[in-house]
Amino acid sequence: MSVVPVLVINSGSSSFKYQLLDMSTERTLASGLVERIGEPVGVARHTVYAASTSAAAGEVTGTPTFLDATRTRELPISDHTAGFAVMLEAFASDGPSLADNPPVAVGHRVVHGGARFFEPTLITPLVEINIDELSVLAPLHNPANLAGILAARRAFPDAPHVAVFDTAFHQTLAPAAYTYAIDADVAASHRIRRYGFHGTSHKFVSEAAAAFVGRPLEDLKQIVFHLGNGASVTAIDGGRSVDTSMGFTPLEGLVMGTRSGDIDPAVLFQLARRGGMTIDDLDDLLNKRSGLLGLAGSNDLRDIRAGIERGDERAVLAFEVYVHRLRTYAGAYLAQLGGADIISFTAGVGENAPHVRAGALETLGFAGVEIDPDRNESPERGIRVISTDASRVTVLVVPTDEELEIARQTLAVSRA
Ligand code: ADP
């Protein structure tokens, strides 16, 4: 079968990540990171993967099984366009050759699609203007995503470029779920509503879960916990997002690595009036100095775990607050859906922290949720069941793969 290369770009303000996939096999061929763009010395890392041919090394799957080589270079990288030139040099020198197999399409992660983009979209100059205009809603993310798009279009002028939006999957939310109960005119004039994020991951995981249990997506009620540094949970009915914990921005909802998640907004009034904090101070507090970091001094759940083992009371409390919030949302979404067929856990914490999974669902026996402790603790990788055979709700761990999902959607749009 001939190779069908699709390049996926995830661009930040001073860095971008890329991944080249062969969509005939859905295998990653290469990935890389270009960072410290605009600083005196930038860094470019390029990794080439080769499929394992030895049965002992495991089956060839969508994820790389054998690491061929990584090369890191340090050099000044003035802007995203220069960064793409560095990436192209890495492909030319370390492979795989883009001259032999140029990408048939380039997919871009775009954080905010507002209420405008509800599906992956072929990028035209008009779409670029819309992404730019949506920077009002995502001032940190959309301009950075757009910088990547513009540079990538210069680097690959002949390939179709496709925008895949983090918010798109949640455009199926009903007004009752996305409307904040504030003055309707104020909300409308500033486009204040819940948008939801991590959509690419929630879509990928819910579809993978349905395929794994061998039932049609349309028939299933699902809850997906995406627990990484950022964390969100989504209620999915028949493949459609009906509620999600992130809102106007990714700050709402669960306790995260550095973000507070849900908080009484009046706390901010108090901190401004009594604590003399500015809007920027408050933004910094809730987005960067809260969550696990704020409670226990580290945003990494492994450190929290180590703290608990040392008897650190702050770590114990941080873990309890984290799990308490998960349980609250699990109950809420069971209620919104009227029960669930599948509950899945994904991302760094969701895939690796059995004590979090157990804690989140511990009290849900009444709703037919029963975790099997041995299955939950098993060090096995890959998609797997962690509920008992008797559990009415199937609980899964599903490794997410946002790049693969972006590549799939990109290919579908470019072929349409
Ligand atoms: P991001 O949201 O940045 O993509 P990830 O999904 O990679 O993040 O999740 C990163 C987080 O996952 C880490 O900060 C850490 O809290 C958690 N994590 C990663 N590995 C483990 C592990 N083995 N055990 C517990 N937590 C882990």
- The model's pLDDT over 346-374, given as tens digits with 9 standing for 90+, comes to 999 999 999 999 999 999 999 999 999 99
Asked if residue 191 is part of any domain, the answer here is no
- Residue 340, domain extent: 215-402
Summarize the annotated binding site for ATP as residue ranges: 17, 226-230, 300-302, 348-352
Q: Are 224 and 148 in the same domain?
A: no
Instruction: Check residue 50 and give its pLDDT.
Output: 82
- Taking the centre of ligand 1 as the mean of its atom positions, its distance from the CA of residue 252, in whole angstroms, is 19
Whether residue 302 has its Cβ less than 6 Å from ligand 1: yes
Asked if residue 170 is part of any domain, the answer here is no
Residues 319-348: what's their mean pLDDT? 98
Residues 271-279: what's their mean pLDDT? 97
The CATH number covering residue 299 comes to 3.30.420.40
- Taking the centre of ligand 1 as the mean of its atom positions, its distance from the CA of residue 175, in whole angstroms, is 33
Q: Are 304 and 382 in the same domain?
A: yes
Q: Are 251 and 391 in the same domain?
A: yes
Predicted TM-score (pTM) of this structure = 0.93
- Which of 123, 150, 165 is the last residue before a domain boundary? 165
Whether residue 42 has its Cβ less than 6 Å from ligand 1: no
The alpha carbon of 148 is separated from its chain's Cα centroid by a whole number of angstroms, namely 18
- The residue contributing the CA closest to ligand 1 atom 26 is 349
Reported as a pLDDT band with limits 50, 70 and 90, residue 140 is confident
Return the amino acid letter for 73: R
- The model's pLDDT over 67-97, given as tens digits with 9 standing for 90+, comes to 579 999 999 999 999 999 999 999 999 999 9
Asked if residue 189 is part of any domain, the answer here is no
What domain count does the chain have?
2
Q: Are 275 and 363 in the same domain?
A: yes
Q: Exactly one of 166, 243, 341, 401 is catalytic; which is it? A: 166
> Between the CA of residue 167 and those of 65, 109, 137, 237, 343, what are the distances in Å?
31, 11, 12, 17, 21
- Which of 165, 195, 228 is the last residue before a domain boundary? 165
Q: Are 136 and 9 in the same domain?
A: yes
From 300, 403, 405, the mutation candidate for ligand 1 (largest count of ligand atoms within 8 A of CB) is: 300
Whether residue 359 has its Cβ less than 6 Å from ligand 1: no
- The residue contributing the CA closest to ligand 1 atom 7 is 348
- The model's pLDDT over 195-229, given as tens digits with 9 standing for 90+, comes to 999 999 999 999 999 999 999 999 999 999 999 99
Asked if residue 201 is part of any domain, the answer here is no
Q: Indicate if 281 belongs to the active site.
A: no
Instruction: Check residue 67 and give its pLDDT.
Output: 58
Cβ atoms 173, 247 nearer than 8 A: no
- Taking the centre of ligand 1 as the mean of its atom positions, its distance from the CA of residue 347, in whole angstroms, is 7
Residues 245-254: what's their mean pLDDT? 97
Quick check: 54 pLDDT over 90? no
